[in-house]
Amino acid sequence: MVKAYLRYEFSAAFGVITSSANPTYDASGKLLFTASLENISVWNAKQGSLVRQLSPVVTSTSTGSGASGGGVAEVTVLCCAPGSATIAAGYSDGTVRLWDYLSGECSVTFRGHKTAVSCLRYNGGGSLLVSGGRDTDLVVWDVVGETGLYRLKGHKDQVTDVSFLPGQSKLVSCSKDGLVKVWDLDTQHCCQTLTGHKAEVWSLDVNPAGTRLATGSTDNEIRVFAAVEVTGGGGAPAAGGAAPGREDRDHIVLVAMGSVRRGAAAHERVAMLRFSGDGEWLGVQAAGKGLELFRVRDEDEARKKLKRRKRRRKEKVAKKAAGRATTGTTRTTEVTAAVMMTRTTQRQDWAYLLAVSKGAKIKAFCFAPPAVKLAAGVACRLVLSLSNNCIEILNVASETHSYDTASRIDLGGHRSDVRALSLSSDDSALLTASSAALKLWNPRTGSCLATMDSGYGLCVLFAPGNKFAVIGTKEGTLEVFDLGAATRVHVEEGAHGGAVWALAPLPNKTGFFSGAADKTVKLWHWSVVSLEGGSKSLRLAHVRTVPMADDVLAVRCSPDGKLLAVALLDATVKVYFADSMKFFLSLYGHKLPVLCMDISSDSSMLLTGSSDKNIKVWGLDFGDCHKSLFAHGDAVMSVAWVPGTHYAFSAGKDRLLKYWDLDRFELLLELPGHHGEVWCCGVSQFGDFVITGSHDRSIRRWERTAEPFFVEEERERRLESLFEADMETTAADRDAAAGAAGNDATGTAAATPAGRRTLEAVSAADAIIDALEAAALEMDRLRTADRERAEAAAAGRPPPQPLPPNALLAGLAPSAYVLKVVSGVRASELEQAVMMLPFADALRLLGYLPQWLQAGGPAVELTVRLAVLLVRLHQGQLVATAAARPVLLALQRRLRGAAQGLKDVVGFNLAAMSHLTRRAREREGVTEADVIVPAKRQLLGKGA
């Protein structure tokens, strides 16, 4: 009989405040966004409280991790849209998701990169989004149309940063290939390449006025370029940062203005640089623990600074000239001074203000937007994302040029790896230990209840009653904590002479065993002492020490209290009688040391996990090995039995949690989700959920559901998922090779199709083909019915019964049914789906377009887009196919009129909006010149 099991699914992740992506504000400055691995955390910037998390939801896969977060890629970059409640997130699998952070829903998913997305940027209006990836490509996305426009190819290494030039159809990108490229979005080609950098260019940014571009590389200088409009017509500008000739009238190019020397952190490469929202500040983040802040002087202040510099230089030259005997030396000195003045002109626009240094590495930063109201004396506000899972908000003083920490967001997570965890006896509390803190959690809600300073915790244990806890540290001490008061009440100094690797409670609740690297196992009993004031506290009483032959790595006591298993560094497991500590069994078989083990509830089986990537099941009656299973792709770090069963969980450095039936020795489920090594896991008393802790600082809960599954089906699903992943990778490589071949053929950096072939696009193409087949069969059925009706009328017979509606087509006409299926395809996947249609099906689809245009309505825009796609893709075959001529002629008669109707509607709406804007300005007494002239001056950069 086939056995069914209940599925475990990912339920929640908590403990991560910020991961690798940059923090960012919304336009109002009230909300702060940080990446928490695959989730986006939305914080109240003033209160430091978590508002919500934006979590991607995936369908059930072969791994059984069908809830949000299971196997989803990590967020690598964030960018908030201007003027809307949308935030764009790039992921490590190459996808870009657009989130509505008010509703918490993912509105659009773009798939265009093969590898991780490294940078994102919106244009000024928020209608275009550009993404750069580690696959060296830039993809421009239409946010309104929810589709990719084109792919820009030209860089030879990872694209590190990208930015639009405000008010212009230009895009600037930099890469690890040492190049800065300017792209013309109208012609979709690279119009300028800057080659002055000697190594990788890691970041760039354009000031809000669009007049200055700053780039950061591996050296100690920030290079500054001016965005200027040059006259002339035709031809691409010259490379290297020089202004082109007068032949190029319509291009905005970058002209080198000089460089600004960095300060204290100049010995480290630039990791990120950004202008503030008002353009007054420039932050330069180094790759280590430093961040430098520059103030951008306005035009008048820079001119005064330059005049003072010139005057001092002239005075110095005159003083030197007075002591010279020859005029030639004076002439040389004056020329040298003039050259030095030219080189330092740009430096007058930038003032080095201060250097920010932190104890942890700074991953990313952002400025508070101009809408944030700052306190008196505060010049600007910075948000730092630190590598220790912490967010710091800094205020920079305007007079003293110093900074102070306004607030920190750090209580909701550990500063380092979650190395050990323990569930209370009633599953109502969870303890986790890291290198410097012990945290108490509610495992159901994920809320942090208390944080206590501790040593480097390697193992943790609840005391009976769940009011106290003890941890074993790397220093060899045992620390006792009062969980109610959230304080450390006792430290057992010298408990062991080495790291305490394991704590094993006694089933009678009188004490516990501890095993350490000093080659001893010690027995401790709980002791209650009376303190001043009548209160009582918990202490430890040492009872017995048992020496071992090697370092002790794991200790477990059987639930019946009879046996004690000890894992040693020599890859063996010794079993003793718990009461007398007499030797009973020695278990050999692992090739590398056993790192973890657990004994089943009936005390009959021992499960061990080792550095050799295997788990072994042993019988405790005779010490025989029941089965050895290759479990993980790396060392097995934790194993745990499900109470009352012979099911077990194992966790390893390969980032996976696995579910096993150890009566049948079968793998039941693979549960991915962690983005780092899994160090520990714990199962609840009833087996209804599992908790895991990881190197990625996250704590994840996996809950048992009521959904049954079968082992054979899961095995088939795993094989299918491997096949589909391989197919998708092959298709992506094929598309990339085709794009590269086209690029090499032209010899220039140019644009290619934006999308990437995915399983969703393949499914959409199959759905369209099925709809066309069903519609063709329905049309044959209708024609047959019409012919029978005509024959009956000619013969004088009564007409046949009318045909019932086709249930397969949901009662719709064939044309309406095909339109419904095509409309259901996501806009971001439509182009790739149409590209995969065979020509015969594409011709059939083209035949429906005139009918959709004649019907009008909301299908006109979709029809126009499909017509352009199909004609562009199959132009050669359509010209050579005689059957396509009537279809194309019918489409030509209707297409231009329908498109012109849409343009008329948009034009009418734009004119109405302009009229309403003018009326509003007239009521406020503001003329058009008051608005347009300052804007043009700011855009063109007067005095640049």
For residue 609, the domain's CATH number is 2.130.10.10
> pLDDT band for position 326 (50/70/90)?
very low
- In terms of domains, do 681 and 602 share one? yes
pLDDT range class, residue 66, cuts 50, 70, 90: very low
Q: Edge-to-edge strands of the sheet including 420-423?
A: 420-423, 430-433, 437-441, 448-453
- Does the pLDDT of residue 489 top 80, yes or no? yes
Tell me: do 639 and 784 sit in the same domain.
Answer: no
Instruction: Tell me the torsion sign for CA atoms 173, 179, 182, 186.
Output: negative
Nearest partner of 370 among 28, 85, 24, judged by Cα: 28
674 and 595 part of one domain: yes
Domain that holds residue 680: 418-714
Residue 62: pLDDT band (50, 70, 90) is very low
If you average pLDDT over every residue of the chain, what do you get?
85
The yes-or-no verdict on residue 334 having pLDDT over 50 is no
pLDDT digits (tens, 9 = 90+) for 21-57: 999 999 999 999 999 999 999 999 989 999 999 998 7
191, 253 in Cβ contact below 8 A?
yes
Last residue of a domain, one of 714, 730, 745: 714
Dist CA 110 CA 189 (whole Å): 22
pLDDT exceeds 50 at position 177:
yes
The proportion of the chain whose per-residue pLDDT surpasses 90, expressed as a percent, equals 54
Report the pLDDT averaged over residues 758-765. Answer: 81
pLDDT at 338 over 80: no
Whether 641 and 503 map to the same domain: the answer is: yes
Q: Does residue 448 sit in the same domain as residue 505?
A: yes
Number of domain units in the chain: 3
Domain contains 186: no
Distances (CA, A) of 58 to 73, 213, 495: 11, 40, 48
CB neighbours of 676 closer than 8 A, spacing ≥ 6? 417, 655, 694, 695, 696, 697
Per-residue H/E/C for 530-586: ECCCCCEEEEEEEEEEEECCCCEEEEEECCCCCEEEEEECCCCEEEEECCCCCEEEE
- Predicted confidence band at 303 (pLDDT cuts at 50, 70, 90)? low
> Per the domain annotation, does 440 fall within a domain?
yes
pLDDT (average), residues 155-166: 94
Comparing C-alpha atoms, which of 713, 706, 707, 680 is closest to residue 694?
680
pLDDT for residue 806: 83
Task: Lowest mean pLDDT of 150-164, 390-404, 647-661, name the range.
Answer: 390-404
**53-67, 296-310, 513-527, 615-629: least confident range:** 53-67
Residues 490 and 429 in one domain: yes
Lowest average pLDDT, out of 171-180, 519-528, 652-661, 789-798, goes to 789-798
Q: For residues 187 and 171, is the Cβ–Cβ distance under 8 A?
A: no
Higher pLDDT, 929 or 598: 598
705 and 778 assigned to the same domain:
no
Which tokens sit at 101?
A: 């952070």
For residue 328, report the phi and psi dihedrals to the nearest 5 degrees. Answer: -60, -40
Q: How far apart are CA 436 and CA 929, in angstroms?
A: 62
CA nearest to 505, candidates 607, 418, 423: 423
Where would I find the H helices in 613-758? 711-746
Q: Is residue 50 part of a domain?
A: yes
Mean pLDDT of 863-892: 86
Closest CA relative to residue 208, chosen from 944, 942, 938: 938
Between 144 and 68, whose confidence is greater? 144
Confidence of residue 689 (pLDDT cuts 50, 70, 90): very high
708 and 764 share a domain? no
**Tokens 């109002």 — which residue?**
28
- Domain boundary among the residues 714, 733, 751 is at 714
Contacts of 28 (CB under 8 A, 6+ apart): 369, 371
Looking at residues 463-481, what average pLDDT do you find? 95
Choose the weakest-confidence range: 223-232, 361-370, 684-693.
223-232
Q: Is 786 contained in some domain?
A: yes
Question: Is 755 buried (19+), middle (13-18) or exposed (0-12) by CB count in 10 A?
Answer: buried
* Three-state SS letters, 136-195: CCEEEEECCCCEEEEEEECCCCCEEEEEECCCCCEEEEEECCCCEEEEECCCCEEEEEEC
Residue 851 lies in a domain: yes
Question: 814 and 850 in contact (C-beta within 8 Å)?
Answer: no
| Residues β-bridged to residue 337 | none
Q: Tell me the per-residue pLDDT of 664-673, one tens digit each, with 9 for 90 and over.
A: 999 999 999 9
Best-predicted range by mean pLDDT among 315-319, 523-527, 806-810?
Answer: 523-527
Please choose, from the candidates 188, 322, 212, 330, the residue with its C-alpha nearest in 3D space to the C-alpha of residue 260. Answer: 212
Where a domain ends, among 153, 169, 197? Answer: 153
Q: Looking at the structure, tell me whether residues 781 and 708 fall in a common domain.
A: no
Cα–Cα separations (whole angstroms), residue 26 to 276, 503, 684: 14, 47, 40
Q: What is the pTM of this model?
A: 0.81
Range in 153-162, 318-327, 476-485, 551-560 with the lowest mean pLDDT = 318-327
Do 580 and 452 share a domain, yes or no?
Answer: yes
In a shared domain, residues 769 and 644: no
Determine, yes or no, domain membership for 548: yes
Quick check: is 595 in a domain?
A: yes
Q: Give the pLDDT confidence score for residue 245 in this predicted structure.
A: 42
DSSP labels for 472-532?
A: EETTS-EEEEETTTTEEEEEETTS-SS-EEEEEE-TTSSEEEEEETTSEEEEEEEEEEE-T
Task: Give 790's pLDDT tier (boundaries 50, 70, 90).
Answer: confident
364 part of a folded domain: no
Instruction: Give yes or no: residues 703 and 765 share one domain.
Output: no
Average pLDDT over residues 382-409: 91
